[in-house]
Amino acid sequence: MEKTEASYHQRAVETGSLVVSACGFDSVPAELGLLFNSVQWVGEAVVNRVEAYVGLESEKRMVGNFATYESAVLGVANASNLHKFRRSRPRRPRPQIPGPSPTKGDTIEHQKKIGLWAVVLPSADASVVRRTLSTLTENPHGLPGSDESPEMVVKREAFWSSVKPAHFGVKIGSKSLLGILRIIMVGIFIGLFGNTSFGRWLLLKFPSLFSLGWFRKNGPAEEEVESASFKMWFVGRGFSNESLASQGNTKPDMEIITRITGPEIGYVTTPIIIVQCALILLSQRKNLPKGGVYPPGIVFGHTDLQQRLQQNGISFDVISKSTISS
């Protein structure tokens, strides 16, 4: 995604071609989920960090799409190339986020308020969100549409003015510590074997073995897809007043928890998302950027994508707003 942006963005701008990556479970829920949490911080309140927790649930055995597993294996294989590529690129502007930078937490976190044990998920979500926030920093009122109406200009500028950027991270969660240890074991297998060609051959030849049953080449059965669902929690922490954020080592005194829920992520949620993104592209082209290569948040954030997803079985909810005792 990042190489495509680097290689083709300027040409897409010149030709009026709009290229939008990550229009599936990666990374629309992360993008819209962060924006949804962000706009709950109204008035003088400011958010400092939003941590997303992905929880996958099923009444039957949980089995994932083989291509997802394959992408993880190849992602490990190409990690060094990605780091090298990023170092070669100009540094993009970062948003000004009130308060201190978050400290690195425990390797395994027990997030009691949402009932999950969690570890960092090395997915594309966090980097996609950072690209949206960098673009927003460069364009504080969002990206102008190619031929938008005055009413749409007002709507777009009002929406993006209400968004308060935050540090963002993603973790994968499980209701049990045993489930998290299982996730860590799969991560260790992919990390150990993914760096050599023979190791990758083993991982891809025997996916069920090395994923501890979570992935298999023929994918899940239809009933396994129907019984699966996801919950993605967004735990935002910040300050009830921006003046508190500037007081050195002051800790956040406010927390807002939001949540996105929906059906199975690979075969149901992803098609819903990509179809709705395509319909917006077809029906609202004048309200979208004339051209360029962008992540989905900055393109669709101010449109009715959230409402469309809600009409198709993906819900957005505010769970709680509370004060954090020091």
What confidence tens digit (pLDDT) does each residue in 100-127 have? 888 888 899 999 999 999 999 988 999 9
* Average confidence (pLDDT) over 307-319: 98
| CA pair distance 34, 7, nearest whole angstrom | 28
User: 64 pLDDT exceeds 90?
Assistant: no
Q: Indicate the residue type of 40.
A: Q
182 has pLDDT over 90: yes
| Tokens found for residue 80 | 């060094």
For residue 326, the model assigns a pLDDT of 64
Q: What is the pTM of this model?
A: 0.94
62 is written with which tokens? Answer: 């949980």
Q: What is the pLDDT of residues 218-270, one digit of tens each?
A: 889 999 999 999 999 999 999 999 888 887 668 899 999 999 999 999 999 99
86: containing domain? 1-323
Question: Is the per-residue pLDDT at 32 higher than 80?
Answer: yes
Count of structural domains, the chain? 1
Q: Which helix (H) or strand (E) holds 5?
A: helix 2-15
How many Å apart are CA 209 and CA 7, to the nearest integer?
38
Mean pLDDT of the chain, nearest integer: 94
- pLDDT (mean) for 30-37: 98
Which pLDDT value is given to residue 239?
A: 94
- Better-predicted residue by pLDDT, 105 or 48: 48
Q: Residues 37, 162: contact at Cβ < 8 Å?
A: no
